[in-house]
Amino acid sequence: MSSAHLEFAAAVCLDLASLPRLDAPSVRRVRISYSKILQAQPAEVVYAFVCSLLENASWAHRVVAWEVLASHAPAFKMLNDAEVEKMAEGLDDWASVDLFGVTVLGRAWREGLVSDRKIQSWTKSNNRWRRRLALVATVPLNLKARGGTGDTARTIQICRVLLDDRDDMVVKAMSWALRELAKRDAKAVAEFVEREGNRLAPRIKREVLNKLQTGHKVRPSR
């Protein structure tokens, strides 16, 4: 393979460094331009470009890398258990974890590129961020805006394994996962909360019940 991927990656780095403000709208404008530039490139070039950008651990580089990957179908199909494991290395903040989980990991799982076994293995990790990733990966299974059509079985399965986890990042992710599923299968979520209520963290129970009863995470004030 040629060095084209390195040239594209270097150009992105220069464009990001030249931004007057490194905020989300500015970074996404850069990403959109490179999604268009790279659309006609072979999958191998785009995937290598993504991997090169991910060598830089900044949030902005990750946004461009993962969103370009998500927008290039042939490159996205190169994902597998080993590749998402490499991409998850070093993720240790909620913004990066959630971006990866929703943009790449959950979709790859939904499309059969990543196995149930891989997601389940992260529920048993000593790393809080891997456990959060397992839950965040369920969101694209259910979120319509991300192409989800609903997957009660896999969402509930991941939540059940992590029922007793009281790490704050995991608790918040489980609340999110169940609230997204509630939009697709409110009955199953209500039954899960009723059955496992004594084991659920109070925050999860409160937010999910609010969602089921009012449509909001926080009960509206009168």
pLDDT tens string 131-149: 999 999 999 999 998 999 9
pLDDT at 216: 80
Q: CATH 1.25.10.90: which residues of the chain?
A: 79-222
Distance set, CA 51 to CA 82, 97, 102, 125, 132 (Å): 13, 17, 18, 24, 23
What token pair was written down for 77?
A: 């199909």
Whether the CB-CB separation of 138 and 158 falls below 8 Å is answered with yes
**DSSP run (H or E) holding 35:** helix 24-38
Cα dihedral 3, 60, 63, 126, rounded to 10, equals 100
Query: Which tokens belong to 209?
Result: 């019940």
Q: What's the number of CA atoms in the CB half-sphere (13 Å) around residue 215?
A: 0
What distance in Å separates the CA atoms of residue 109 and residue 101, rounded to the nearest whole number? 10
> What does the mean pLDDT of the chain come to?
95
CATH class label, 79-222: mainly alpha
Alpha-carbon distance 135 to 123, whole Å? 8
- What are the Cα distances from residue 19, in Å, to 16, 100, 108, 180? 5, 23, 31, 35
With a pLDDT cut of 90, the percent of the chain lying above it is 93
Q: pLDDT tens for residues 18-67?
A: 999 999 999 999 999 999 999 999 999 999 999 999 998 799 999 999 99
Q: pLDDT tens for residues 92-131?
A: 999 999 999 999 999 999 999 999 999 999 999 999 999 9
